[in-house]
Structure 1
Amino acid sequence: MHWLYLGIAVVFEITVAISAGKAQGFTRLTWTTVTLISGGIATYFLSLALLTFDVGVGYAIWTSVAGVGIVILGAVLFGQRLDWRKLLGIVAVIAGVVGLQLSGAV
């Protein structure tokens, strides 16, 4: 169940990043509201996941997977450039997350 909670937290953290960009410095009320509510939901589900995960490992996985998701969605939805350096970074992040999982900390 903790992986499901972490997955939900990741989805809402990605929503935070995308909506924060659309909020234009919190000048657009709808996007500002989406940002704040998504942040609360993401934090709530992260806290549920951290009942099982070590806090450092759970937080690292949460931020890393969300970061990769944001980069990929930025390329797919907003036409942001995805070059070999970003792809290399994504591979490094994924390797780090796998390494954390293999450490047996969960």
Structure 2
Amino acid sequence: MAWVALIVAGAFETFGVAMMNQYSVSRNWKPLVFLVLGFCISLFLLDYSMNTISMGTAYAIWTGIGVVGGTIVGMLFYGESKEWKRILCIFIILCASIGLKIVS
């Protein structure tokens, strides 16, 4: 269950980052509320998962999901570069995250 919570925490981190970008564009209160809510849920689930998963592994996976998710959201919704070098780096981060899961 801790691994599921950690993956969902990473997804909420990605959501929070997307709302941060949306807030910087619109300066509307709704993205700000979703930003705070997304990060609060993310941190709560990260804390929960760290009861079972070691801190270093949990934090690395959480940040990895956030980095990959934020980059993909930026590419799909905000017109960021889809250059092959960026995609290769995302792949490397994913492989490292999977490796941490395997050795933990």
Instruction: Count matched residues.
Output: 104
Runs of 4+, deviation exceeding 3 Å: none
Contact 1:19 1:34 in 2 (8 A): yes
Deviations along 1:49-72, whole A, 9 cap, x unmatched?
111110110010011012111111
Matched, 1:43 2:32: no
Unaligned runs of 5+ in 2: none
Name the counterpart of 2:92.
92
Relative CO higher for 1 or 2, CA cutoff 8 Å, sep ≥ 6? Answer: 2
Which TM-score applies when normalising by structure 2? 0.90
Rounded Cα–Cα distance in structure 2 between residues aligned with 1:24 and 1:14 = 16
Name the counterpart of 1:61.
61
Contact 1:12 1:42 in 2 (8 A): yes
Identity of aligned residues (%): 24
The AA in structure 1 aligned to 2:15 is T
What is the CA-CA distance between 1:102 and the residue it aligns to?
A: 2.2
Structure with higher helix content = 2
Report the RMSD for the aligned CA atoms in angstroms.
1.7
What is the DSSP-based 3-state SS (H/G/I as helix, E as strand, rest coil) of the residue aligned with 2:57? Answer: helix
Rounded Cα–Cα distance in structure 2 between residues aligned with 1:26 and 1:50 = 35
